Structure 1
Amino acid sequence: MEIGDKIRELRMKKGFSQEELAVRSNFSKSYIQKFEEGKREVKSSQLVQISNALGISISEILDGTNYNSDEFTLRNIEFREGFKIVFNQEFFEKKILGELHRKYNSYCRLEKLVGASIIFQNPLKNFDIISNKKQIEEATKILRKKWKFDITPIYDIVSFLEDLGVKIFEVEEDESFAGFSCWERYTPIIVINVKNIDIPRRRFTVLHELAHLLLKFDDNILKEDLERFCDHFAGAMLLPYDVLMEYIGEERSITLEELKRIKSKYGISVFAILVRIVSLEIINWEKYYEWKNLYDTWKNKDISYNSNEKVSRFNYLLAKGLREELFSDSVASQLSGIPISVLRRNSFSKEFDLR
């Protein structure tokens, strides 16, 4: 079904005439008519207006349609499942992409109102096509140096990437879904599932998806190998080779306390550390399984990693715009989906006068 046919179907279900929908969505009647007849492209921002006018989610409009827009083209969508998939992927994609349309357009509009748009720069855009793990190690060294981390821990990956222009969105879905990444023209997008409360795993997922966005892979690489390369990238970004080797030393051994210290300092899970060690061929797979079985007996002695890793830039820009009176409470409510009464009660409306 074409998008125009779907809009007509949903409009009629609501009992609206074309004129009524036009008034509710702030379009002319001729616009609605052209949308429905497929004579005019429906842009993503216009989908937001129409869905609001119909009182439905964008995903309901997209469901079962062949929607394409030159304005909002999602490419290189990479889904990663943490466990066995327990959802209908086609329906899930429509639902998630529907949410992205709304959130992305609100985010871009807010940036323009505040004058805070960021053009993302990929430090690895001229890097070689990836075909092996050695290249990934080289790429992460370059990236860490460009971003001035060298061998130090990366403490708030989500906020750091947001400030570079990566748009990160949170969803609450079944735990079998970890996240995915895509591009909207020149803007990198990462979606993470906050149902996953394990922070090291969330950090790992963000960096895995970042690999999909920044690296160019050999076209002949199998899907499972590509995912392993992205995992290797995430491990290398979290725990640089030189740091790991300092802990392992010439003895080629490591203690539980050392593993816990690495986890608490670098925000990488003990399991991911072990995978990194075998992936670098520091130990063989037989030794890896021996260590992993030993770790399984340690699990009750493991420690948690304290970090936020929550999306925050949107709310920061919202508060800034309200404080500087760049837009009204009603616009802030429309952008955020937060009722005006709630906006006025929380920190968005509080200001510390430094004069």
Structure 2
Amino acid sequence: MSSPLQSIAGAFDPARLTQARHVAGLTKKELAERIGVSPAAVGQYETGSSRPRWDLIPRLADSLNVPAQFFLVGRPHGKIDSSMAHFRSLRTTRVFQRAKAVALAEQVWELAFALEKQVKLPPVDLPGFVDGEVHPGVDLPREPAMAAQTLRRMWGLGSDPISHVVRQMEARGIIVVLPPLDDDVKTVDAFSTSQLPRPIVVLTSNRYDDIHRYRFTAAHELGHLVLHGDIAAGDTRQEREADAFAAEFLTPRQSIVPELPGRLDLRCLAELRQKWGVSVDSLIYRCREVGLLSDSSASRAWQRLNTLRDQPGFAPESITGYPGEQPVLLRQAFDLAGLTIKGLADQLAWRPSHVRTLLGLPDQRPTLTLVRGGPAAHHQQNVPQGLFDES
């Protein structure tokens, strides 16, 4: 009679090993040293040309912080083509950091898939996106500013400031996660993909920890989802287009231009920062873009701004002070589903601590304050659209 470990070795999933190694941020050589084999052996395990011996399974599990059952075939696996993944800071993000972000996004989808067995998440309301496939040019112009204007109309946002960018995205079925910082994730800055049955955006507070930069980054990734979901990533032109989309989405030209000062006025821009939820840097760029500031005047404005970075009205404001911009969709779906952390972890073959991390839950469950129309007001097994109403 075979042992459980022998059974796992016999039904070993090579893709799970690769995913777990990427999430752990380890190279093949580093993993090989931990389990006592050669890097070539690890490579063979990941290609499926050979399987690890049953006695190596516990070493792999301990080294990668997963249960031994994690390596079994048969569970839904969200696989992403890394060439179709958009990274906010591509040039400064190393290959292993991108691999880690992609693997985390795969697991975020797997978590959402498990939750959707119990809870109906909001349907994906993203032009051109149907059941995990992107159809270019559907209902949305390719020109960034026009695309942003059209999406605002489709989402009923009008031309006023958007109070909660992340909440608007979640209300349209886009999964947004804000994982805890580590040395790998904070360098990634932000990442998005349209290659799974639900669009996924991974945000970080990174080294800036500034709500205004964070909101712009969220809108930037939204731009990638609607403009570049069917295009291989890595083109600097795509980054410029996503920036142009974000600027128009957050500060529509027809609304912001009448409010911009006719000459440099940092006090006025600081007030507009609070109203529109964008950085003064972004507003200076907008002034130059619409012709209110020359290139030389904009350069002087940024120089003056640099002397005020630590002053009220100009200093970064931590993301932690803005709960409306922190993702809640998966956490509230978990609450509504009536599952336990252990039960969900067993279903996913993860450590409970990893489930908590991707749900955004601390070790001790906090007292949640529900927004208007939240789960407390509904008894059916459904995440209500009212959950995302502005409050």
TM-score (norm 2): 0.64
| Structure-to-structure mapping, 1:103-122, within 5 angstroms | 103-116=108-121, 118-122=123-127
Could you tell me which residue of structure 1 aligns to residue 304 of structure 2? 294
Structure 1 contact 217–226 (Cα < 8 Å) conserved = no
Pair 1:18–1:156, CA change in 2 (3 A): farther
| Structure-to-structure mapping, 1:251-266, within 5 angstroms | 252-266=262-276
Pair 1:72–1:294, CA change in 2 (3 A): same
Q: Deviations over 1:55-91 (max 9, x none)?
A: 45499x9xxxxxxx99523462122229x73x6x222
- The answer to whether residue 148 in structure 2 is matched with residue 148 in structure 1 is no
Amino acid at match of 2:329: R
Shift in Å, 1:111 = 2.1
Could you tell me which residue of structure 2 aligns to residue 157 of structure 1? 165
Other structure's SS at 2:116 match: helix
Match of 2:252 among 213, 218, 240: 240
| Structure-to-structure mapping, 1:122-137, within 5 angstroms | 122=127, 125-129=138-142, 135-137=143-145
> 1 or 2 for the larger relative contact order (CA 8 Å, sep ≥6)?
2
- The answer to whether residue 331 in structure 2 is matched with residue 307 in structure 1 is no
TM-score (norm 1): 0.69
Match of 2:209 among 192, 197, 202: 197
Other structure's SS at 1:268 match: coil
Instruction: List gaps (5 residues or longer) in structure 1.
Output: 1-16, 41-49, 62-68, 130-134
Pair 1:98–1:56, CA change in 2 (3 A): farther
Other structure's SS at 1:113 match: coil
Amino acid at match of 2:106: H
Q: Deviations over 1:73-130 (max 9, x none)?
A: 3462122229x73x6x22212222232232321122112212336334327733343x
Q: Deviations over 1:249-307 (max 9, x none)?
A: 6xx22523321121111110000111122233443212211222232344324345552
Shift in Å, 1:203 = 0.7
C-alpha separation between the residues in 1 aligned to 2:376 and 2:230? 53
Pair 1:21–1:158, CA change in 2 (3 A): farther
Could you tell me which residue of structure 1 aligns to residue 242 of structure 2? 230
Pair 1:18–1:105, CA change in 2 (3 A): farther
Other structure's SS at 2:162 match: coil
C-alpha separation between the residues in 2 aligned to 1:101 and 1:222? 20
C-alpha separation between the residues in 1 aligned to 2:144 and 2:84? 19
Amino acid at match of 1:265: K
Shift in Å, 1:244 = 1.9
Other structure's SS at 2:117 match: helix
Identity of counterpart residues, as a percentage? 19
Pair 1:222–1:256, CA change in 2 (3 A): same
Amino acid at match of 1:115: K
Amino acid at match of 1:54: A
Pair 1:139–1:101, CA change in 2 (3 A): closer
For structure 1, which segment, 150-159 or 50-59, has the greater mean C-alpha deviation from structure 2 after superposition?
A: 50-59
Amino acid at match of 2:155: W
| Structure-to-structure mapping, 1:53-132, within 5 angstroms | 54-55=61-62, 57=64, 72-74=79-81, 76-81=84-89, 85=92, 89-116=94-121, 118-122=123-127, 125-129=138-142
Match of 1:321 among 318, 330, 337: 337
C-alpha separation between the residues in 1 aligned to 2:157 and 2:249? 10
Shift in Å, 1:157 = 1.0
C-alpha separation between the residues in 1 aligned to 2:187 and 2:277? 22
Pair 1:121–1:104, CA change in 2 (3 A): same
Pair 1:97–1:21, CA change in 2 (3 A): farther
Q: Deviations over 1:209-244 (max 9, x none)?
A: 11111015998x993333122112111111111222
